[in-house]
Chain A
Amino acid sequence: MEKYLWAIPLLPLLGAGINGFGALTGALSRRAVNIIACTVVGIAFVLACLVNWELAQQAGHGGAPQLVSTWFEWIAAGSFSVDAALLVDPLAGVMLLVVTGVGFLIHVYSTGYMAHDPAYARYFAFINLFTFAMLLLVMGENLVLMFVGWEGVGLCSYLLIGFWFTDTEKAYAGKKAFVVNRVGDFGFLLGLFVLYWGLKEQGIDATLSIVGLREIVGANAISGAVITTVCLLLFVGATGKSAQIPLYVWLPDAMAGPTPVSALIHAATMVTAGVYMISRLSFLYLQSPLAMTVVACVGAATALYAATIGLTQFDIKKVLAYSTVSQLGYMFLAVGLGAFSAGIFHLVTHAFFKACLFLGSGAVIHAMGGEQDIRRMGGLRAKIPYTYWTFLLATIAIAGVFGTSGFMSKDEILAAALAANPDYTLVPGWLLYSIGTLGALLTTFYMFRLVFLTFFGDFRGGKDLEHHVHESPWSMVVPLIVLAALSIVGGLMNVPEILHGDERLHHWLSGAAPSVARVDVVGHGAEIGLMVALQVLILGTIALAYRMYLKSPAIPQRAAKVLGGVPYRLSYHKYYVDEIYDTLIVRPLHSISRVFLWGNVDVKIVDGSINGMARVVRYASDLLGRLQTGQLNGYAFSIVVGMVAILAYVAVK
């Protein structure tokens, strides 16, 4: 099986190459592009299933299941060596299934959604390339290869956000995503450097291979300060890629890309790369309680913060974007608590329901002819029933109603917060639990607000638009149904112990990313009590949203007024963070660049030195040119000078 590991990432790359060729030459029909793009990912999914089956076989025989495939030595510089190698353990196996499985569904969906786009082949070339980069990130055996995938997904994200680049605003959104990601990626790169340097410093054979690092860390060979620095720097990369405070600002703008892209890259896969990276390096993070705490706190803060912004947005995709940021916050909270399996579990269920929500919103936008403002929607329930039902099911899942996948995973995280292990979490668990619970309630509220405003009530978009509304083609509906079904039942893969489940995913991941948060501090009775209370609160929140947005639509405006408008405006304007960043960072940088770097460094030093060199050469040649007088006597004279000099030398010698 090891031999075929490489086929999983390389197949989408092949697809990207063929489709890219098609995009450049126009030689491929839409049908051909469809078939190629979906087939390569489909085969990759089948192979991913086989890989997981193989891992399960190994696990059955005992020992830690893992598959390694080394292709060639990629970088060799002195004692430093990096192989082009893939490593699949249960963690990567789960991630592989998500990337290829959800990815496949979204590819299928895209064939319907992008059917009328002229740049069809280019779209599929990019999205196949993205799949390749993501798989490389997931499977890379060492941090360098992981970094290649990390950069690759960033590139594809940039290309796809700015896919409709003739629209300046969308091109700008792509640029913003790229620049913000660069900040994070720089942190990641610095983390690698510090790690390598730290290993060298302590006289250890430096390696960036994950297996090798695990051994080194296991032997307690690296100092704590180095590990903390490395973990925090890598986490900076994760905040960029996974849209956490303070680098989350690009994700809402990234909604400028085609909706399937939002579903695949900006909900299901790429933005979870940070969570995956921390889980993959769990052995490293577990050595640094400080870094773990930082991760957990940033995650919790982001979860609550993004949820408050989601309350007031009117763009259907913006709401989902902030929801994504918030849910990613939960994942970081989980991994920060050391509950890696809970984080990955939420990653998987989130991939299901958020992909479903995004694809559903895409179907709504498709039906509305490009309209994204929920104030102009309403009453779509009857017109696009499949979209409505799948969207509703996914909403129930994300709200965490009992029995759904969202319930299972979110409950797992909250339970982990409650039972935080004080060895690894330096802040009280009940604080994180409270923040998480509040965020969960806000999530329920804004998601049902979205559903009620979009699908219930009367249509508010005008007569012309109302006639246009139509159900999407089957290529879009089928993935929606599959994802909706998974959103509901997907939680069964990891039924918590408290509900007498067997926690299959938790055990499956225990080797690759062992969870540490499980210290029973509250007891079963209290845990069940809290769970029931949370369910009641969630149902109450749904009722509140129903009352505010359907029964008496005047309430929200009154509420906004009663609150004095300040909190409302803060939320509506996203806390002015973009403006603050603009004032604090972008503008000063811009003026420094223009006035100092351009005006002084570039014009005076760079240009000046080059112009100066040219001037020196000109003056020198003017001087030397004067020697060439055209006077033969002068030339003869210089010969004599030379001759006398030689003779003088001979004579003196």
Chain B
Amino acid sequence: MFEQTMFYLFAIVSVIAALFVVAGKNPISCAIALIVTLGALAGVFVLQEAHFVATIQVLVYAGAIMVLFVFVIMLLNLGPEDLEKTPRFSRLKGAGGIFAAAGAALLAWNFVSYAARAARVGPGFGGLAQISQKLFTEYIIPFEAISAVLMAAVVGAVVIAKREL
């Protein structure tokens, strides 16, 4: 019962915060709302026995990535004044909203029928040991590839953002 209560709490928080991300006026507010969403989702992950994922969700996403966003927003010094000049939404607002809603409805409608109960999982599921076990044996090559991707991204970001291109 507790688990369900917590899930609905986190889910509602994350959806409301996501709505704010999409509709918010000030980028900083949006970024904060996104952090809230990510945090709430980290709670959902914990409820799903995904402890490791929840941890790096907080560390990498809510921590590192969102700091980067906020940093860039501050760097560009985008206040609400700058944004007042142009409308928040593009011309496609109406159509986009309807289509997104339709997409969500369709997705959800497909999933409602998928009512299988969650399987019982053993102790240590989603823990560091289990994930490391897999990551460094079965998934070692994608893991190394990801490191290369990250390295390339770092170099690329530096080059692109350099003042003299």
Q: How far, in whole Å, are A650 and B96 apart by their CA atoms in the complex? A: 21
Partner of B106, one of A631, A633, A641, A647: A647
Q: Is the CB of B103 within 8 A of A647?
A: yes
| Residue B107 lies at the interface, judged by CB distance under 8 Å to chain A | yes
| Residues in A whose Cβ lies below 8 Å from that of B90 | 631, 633
Q: Is the CB of B107 within 8 A of A634?
A: no
Q: Is the CB of B96 within 8 A of A640?
A: yes
| Residue A651 lies at the interface, judged by CB distance under 8 Å to chain B | yes
Q: Is the CB of B106 within 8 A of A637?
A: no
Partner of B99, one of A634, A644, A651: A644
| Residue B109 lies at the interface, judged by CB distance under 8 Å to chain A | yes
Q: Is the CB of B103 within 8 A of A643?
A: yes
Size range of the chain B interface in the assembly: 10 to 19
| Residue B133 lies at the interface, judged by CB distance under 8 Å to chain A | no
Known: A633-B90, A633-B92, A637-B92. A647 touches B110 (CB 8 A): yes
**From residue B26, how far is it (CB to closest CB) to chain A in Å?**
20
| Residue B6 lies at the interface, judged by CB distance under 8 Å to chain A | no
Partner of B103, one of A631, A634, A640: A640
| Residue B12 lies at the interface, judged by CB distance under 8 Å to chain A | no
Q: Is the CB of A644 within 8 A of B103?
A: yes
Q: How far, in whole Å, are A445 and B102 apart by their CA atoms in the complex? A: 106
| Residue A648 lies at the interface, judged by CB distance under 8 Å to chain B | yes
Q: How far, in whole Å, are A650 and B92 apart by their CA atoms in the complex? A: 26
Q: Which chain A residue has the least Cβ–Cβ distance from B107? A: A647
| Residue B76 lies at the interface, judged by CB distance under 8 Å to chain A | no
Known: A643-B103, A644-B102, A644-B103. A637 touches B96 (CB 8 A): yes
Pick from B92, B96, B99, B106 the residue with the most CB of A within 10 Å.
Answer: B106
Partner of A651, one of B96, B100, B110: B110
Q: Hey, what's the 0/1 contact readout for A102-138 against B, CB within 8 Å counting as 1?
A: 0000000000000000000000000000000000000
Q: Is the CB of A648 within 8 A of B106?
A: yes
**From residue A227, how far is it (CB to closest CB) to chain B in Å?**
78
Q: How far, in whole Å, are A634 and B99 apart by their CA atoms in the complex? A: 13
| Residues in B whose Cβ lies below 8 Å from that of A651 | 106, 109-110
Q: How far, in whole Å, are A651 and B106 apart by their CA atoms in the complex? A: 7
**From residue A34, how far is it (CB to closest CB) to chain B in Å?**
82
| Residues in B whose Cβ lies below 8 Å from that of A650 | 110
Q: How far, in whole Å, are A472 and B90 apart by their CA atoms in the complex? A: 100
Tell me which residues from 598 to 653 in chain A have a Cβ below 8 Å from any Cβ of chain B: 631, 633-634, 637, 640-641, 643-644, 647-648, 650-651
Size range of the chain A interface in the assembly: 10 to 19
Q: Is the CB of B109 within 8 A of A637?
A: no
Q: How far, in whole Å, are A164 and B164 apart by their CA atoms in the complex? A: 77
Partner of A644, one of B92, B106, B109, B110: B106
Q: How far, in whole Å, are A309 and B106 apart by their CA atoms in the complex? A: 97
**From residue B47, how far is it (CB to closest CB) to chain A in Å?**
28
Partner of A641, one of B99, B107, B109, B110: B99
Partner of B100, one of A631, A640, A648: A640
| Residues in A whose Cβ lies below 8 Å from that of B1 | none
Q: Hey, what's the 0/1 contact readout for B68-101 against A, CB within 8 Å counting as 1?
A: 0000000000000000000000101001100110
Q: How far, in whole Å, are A504 and B14 apart by their CA atoms in the complex? A: 121
Q: How far, in whole Å, are A640 and B110 apart by their CA atoms in the complex? A: 17
**From residue A458, how far is it (CB to closest CB) to chain B in Å?**
105
| Residues in A whose Cβ lies below 8 Å from that of B102 | 644, 648
**From residue B122, how far is it (CB to closest CB) to chain A in Å?**
34
Q: Which chain A residue has the least Cβ–Cβ distance from B89? A: A633
Q: Which chain B residue has the least Cβ–Cβ distance from A649? A: B106
**From residue A640, how far is it (CB to closest CB) to chain B in Å?**
5
Q: How far, in whole Å, are A648 and B110 apart by their CA atoms in the complex? A: 10
Q: How far, in whole Å, are A640 and B96 apart by their CA atoms in the complex? A: 8
Q: How far, in whole Å, are A641 and B92 apart by their CA atoms in the complex? A: 12
**From residue A456, how far is it (CB to closest CB) to chain B in Å?**
106
Q: How far, in whole Å, are A641 and B102 apart by their CA atoms in the complex? A: 10
Q: Which chain A residue has the least Cβ–Cβ distance from B95? A: A637
Tell me which residues from 375 to 404 in chain A have a Cβ below 8 Å from any Cβ of chain B: none
**From residue A41, how far is it (CB to closest CB) to chain B in Å?**
84
| Residues in B whose Cβ lies below 8 Å from that of A640 | 96, 99-100, 103
Q: Which chain A residue has the least Cβ–Cβ distance from B101? A: A644
| Residues in B whose Cβ lies below 8 Å from that of A648 | 102, 106
Q: Hey, what's the 0/1 contact readout for B88-130 against A, CB within 8 Å counting as 1?
A: 0010100110011011001101100000000000000000000
Q: How far, in whole Å, are A641 and B99 apart by their CA atoms in the complex? A: 7
Tell me which residues from 89 to 104 in chain A have a Cβ below 8 Å from any Cβ of chain B: none
**From residue A79, how far is it (CB to closest CB) to chain B in Å?**
63
Q: Which chain B residue has the least Cβ–Cβ distance from A650? A: B110
Q: How far, in whole Å, are A13 and B42 apart by their CA atoms in the complex? A: 95
Q: Is the CB of B99 within 8 A of A637?
A: yes
Q: Which residues of A contact B (CB under 8 A)?
A: 631, 633-634, 637, 640-641, 643-644, 647-648, 650-651
What would 14 A/B residue contacts be, using CB atoms closer than 8 Å?
A: A631-B90, A637-B92, A637-B95, A637-B99, A640-B96, A640-B100, A641-B99, A644-B99, A644-B102, A644-B106, A647-B107, A647-B110, A648-B106, A651-B109
Q: Which residues of B contact A (CB under 8 A)?
A: 90, 92, 95-96, 99-100, 102-103, 106-107, 109-110
Starting from the known contacts A631-B90, A640-B100, A641-B99, 15 additional A-B residue pairs (CB-CB under 8 Å) come to A633-B90, A633-B96, A634-B92, A637-B92, A637-B99, A640-B99, A640-B103, A643-B103, A644-B99, A644-B102, A644-B103, A644-B106, A647-B106, A647-B107, A647-B110
The 4 closest A-B pairs by CB, nearest first: A647-B106, A644-B103, A633-B90, A640-B99
